[in-house]
Amino acid sequence: SFLCPYSSALLPKMAKQNSPSLIEAVKKVVEQQHSQASEIEKSKIVLFQLQAKFQALEKEMDSILLETKATEREIYLQDDAIEVTKHHCENLEAQVRALYSENLKLRRDAETVQAEFEMTFARNNEYREKIKAHKHLFWEMESKMPVMIELAKKKAIVEELKTKKEELMRDLQNPEGSVIKQVQVLYFLFDSFPFVQNKRYDAILKRLHCQLNKLHSNKRQWHWSIQQLEKKAAELRKCLGVAELQSSI
């Protein structure tokens, strides 16, 4: 197909006119031309294939380049995030160190306060025991003082008078009581002996008035004595308290 029509028509004539060697040479040339044409076709096919592969590789390279740029951008963003996180971690570490130092200080302060509290508590216990002993001694001394003995006697007398008064009030409210019976006897005597009624009645009234006045006078005197004794006892307690406080200091 690569030979022109003239050469194709010329070949039989040349074959008749020339020697067999020329024909062989022409055949070789023709075969070489066929072989070259076939190789050229094959080369074209390979070239087309290579061009297609090259285009595919270019597309793949473009895609890889885009992915690389996206990856680089993500790496930059991650680097920024890492820097921010690193700075935040450094701040947190500084805060943790500060809190740890503050915690140690608070623990030492708490131990100091606990030790001071225990010492103060022990001193207070010792002071309370001393106060208790002083109070017991003061009560013993107070109970043996003449003024306190006299005060106790006066209080006992007052209590006895109160008891007698209550008994008398109950006796007066009781129709079968001794006072009512005595009054009934007096009325009987007055009714039985009219001639001595006025004199005996006056004498009895005078005696009762005298006893009542004496009772009131004694009561006032005892009340005044008790008040004076209580004042003296309060002054003595105050003096003993001041002396006790000075001795404890």
Buried b (16+ CB within 10 A) or exposed e, 201-229: eeeeeeeeeeeeeeeeeeeeebeebbeeb
Residue 173 within any structural domain of the chain: yes
Place of tokens 């005197």: 221
With the CA atoms of 93, 98, 102 and 107 taken in that order, what torsion angle do they form, in degrees rounded to the nearest 10?
30
Please state the φ and ψ torsions of residue 235, each to the nearest 5 degrees.
-65, -40
Q: What is the pTM of this model?
A: 0.31
* Entry field: residues in the chain: 249
Residue 152 within any structural domain of the chain: yes
Task: Give, as one character, the DSSP assignment of residue 18.
Answer: S
Residue 130 within any structural domain of the chain: no
Residue 220 within any structural domain of the chain: yes
Residue 116 within any structural domain of the chain: no
Q: Which domain holds residue 168?
A: 145-248
Residue 196 within any structural domain of the chain: yes
Count of domains forming the chain: 1
Residues 161, 107: Cα–Cα separation, whole Å? 68
The radius of gyration of the chain's CA atoms, rounded to the nearest angstrom, is 71
Task: Give, as one character, the DSSP assignment of residue 196.
Answer: G
Residue 128 within any structural domain of the chain: no
From first to last of its 249 residues, what are the pLDDT tens digits of the chain?
A: 434 444 444 445 544 455 678 888 888 888 888 888 888 888 889 889 998 999 999 999 999 999 999 898 988 898 888 899 889 999 999 999 999 999 899 999 999 999 999 999 888 888 888 888 877 776 777 667 776 777 777 778 778 777 877 776 676 666 666 655 665 565 555 555 554 455 665 666 677 667 667 766 776 777 787 777 777 777 766 766 655 554 555
Residue 179 within any structural domain of the chain: yes
Please tell me the predicted confidence (pLDDT) of residue 241.
60
